Amino acid sequence: MNHYFADFIDDLRSTHRDNLVSVVLYGSAAAGDFVPRQSDYNILVALKKIGPADLRNAQACIREWTRLGNPVPVYFTESELQNAADVFPIEFHQMTVAHKVLFGPDVLAGLNISDKFLRLQTEYELRSKLIQLRRQYIPASASVDGLKRLMGESLASFAALFRAVLIIGGQTPPATKPEIVAQTVKHLQIDGASFEKIFDIRENSLTVKLDEMSANALFGEYMEQIEKVIDAVDAAGK
C-alpha cells in the first residue's frame, strides 16, 4: 500500500512544500474491506492555509492521481478539521475509526466530534440515498448487470451510514462494511439476507448468476430493509 502512494505523496510534497501538514488515507482501504475496481482510495490533504493558488498548483499531481481511477482528495486546513467535526459527524466518525497516516502527523487524532446533529444528518443522508436509489433503479432495471452494479455500489454507501446508525443506538461499530451491516441487522432485528446476497454479488460479480426475476426480487427485498433502517432512525428522534 505504501508503495502505491509513494509517488503521489512525493508529488504533493513538491507541490505544497512547507504548507503541507498531513496526508491521510480513510475509508474502505484503511478499514480493510477494499474491493478492487469498486472501492476508492479516499485521501484527506491537510494544509496550513488554502488559497486559490494552492489548489491551482495541485492540478498536475491531482490530474495524475485521478487518471489512475482515484477520486479527487478532500482538502482541509489544519484548523478547519476541528471546527468542521461537529458539522459533519458522520464523515468524521468514519475517518477517525478507519484511517492511515501517509505523511505528517495524525491530524484526526483527538478531534472533538459532537453527536448533537448526528441523528438528523444520518436520517437526511439515508433518505437522500433512498430517493436516489429509486431514481437509479428505473434505468438500471433494463438489465440484470445494471441491477447487480446498482445494488453493489449503493450498499457500500448505505453501509457507511449504518455506522452512524449503530452509534445512535449506543453501539460500537466494527471497521468493515460487511461487519457494520451485520451488526446493524442484529441491532435493529431486521432481515439481513438481501444484504448478504448483495455483498456476495459485489465481491463475486462475475460468478454470481441471477435472472431478471430474481434480480428484481432481490432489489425489492433490499429496498424494504433500507426503509426499515430509516424508520428506526426516525423513531429514535421521537
Specify the CATH number for the domain of residue 139: 1.20.120
Query: What does the block give as the cell for 132?
Result: 436516489
Domain boundary pick from 73, 103, 133: 103
Write down the pLDDT at residue 160. 87
Single pTM value for the model? 0.70
Domain boundary pick from 41, 68, 103: 103
- 145, 71 contact by CB (below 8 A): no
Same domain, 123 and 227: yes
CA 201 to chain centre: 18
Indicate whether 111 belongs to any domain. no
Write down the pLDDT at residue 113. 79
**Residues in the chain, pLDDT under 70:** 1-2, 33-39, 206
Write down the pLDDT at residue 122. 94
Count of structural domains, the chain: 2
Indicate whether 112 belongs to any domain. no
Same domain, 44 and 70: yes
Residue 45, helix vs strand vs coil: strand
Indicate whether 76 belongs to any domain. yes
Residue 24, helix vs strand vs coil: strand
